[in-house]
Amino acid sequence: MRRWWWGVMVLALLIAGGLARERVLAAEAKAQPVYYIGTREKVMALTFDVSWGDKMLPRVLDVLKHYNQKATFFISGPWAKTHPALVAAILAGGNELASHGQQHVNLSDYGDSAIANNIGSADAILREYAHAPLRFFRPPNGDFNSHVVEVSKGLGYETIIWSIDSRDWMNPGVHAIVSRVTQEAFPGAIILLHASDTCRQTDLALPAIIRDVRAEGYRLVTLGELWTMGPPRYDDPRGSGQKPNISENAATSAGCPMPG
């Protein structure tokens, strides 16, 4: 009888421990940004960050229009306020608007109130153009910690990083930008490009990116559309040497963040 009782107790403890671990993992997932979407369908989100200048964005929009391609634009509050016609052009092309915050600073260096002020200040500006709540936030410089993610969530935003960095911000040459995107492509990926004037080769590389990934059977969509195709994934696949959603051992749980 005693042995039976102890068996029940051990089983109960194991179950309780498992439930506790699930709660911890769930909490960790909520404190991580999203890097990609869990789907086997050959589809990727095309996203651009915009914070400076007014020359590159129109050229990028022309390329998107030519290829009948939609994308998601993460724009900063100050840039939107000083370039309202360009914000209108983004939306007129059927593209999606998202937030890149207010001041272009590393938010992990700040407390919760300053983080909330940064995100909230941009939100107040961007809502005037979108005429609806925005869903996605990408922290400046891709810098974050758990506080950034939690504060963003509290303000109604999903924090989005990326799984494929085109490195167009380094101006490495058109071929290098195109090759990086096409070689790292995988189902559910989020591609990072820029439409700021500091990136001088993005519009030149974009046509080949669109053509090449389409030739490989991929569709490029907005982040909002990709979001409907599977669950968000919080593990960082960058630098792992493995492509999620392809192998049977693809990671599907929350992982440790890599600031950057």
| C-alpha–C-alpha distance, residues 98 and 95, integer Å | 10
Kindly list the catalytic residues.
49, 194
Strand, helix or coil at 162? coil
Helix, strand, or coil (residue 97): strand
Report the Cα 92 to chain-centroid distance in Å.
22
The three-class DSSP label of residue 80 is: helix
Q: Is 42 left (phi over 0), alpha (psi -120 to 50) or beta?
A: beta
Would you call 73 helix, strand, or coil by DSSP? strand
As given in the structure block, the two tokens for residue 144 are 């974050």
- Interacting residues of 41 by C-beta distance below 8 A, sequence separation 6+: 187, 188, 229, 230
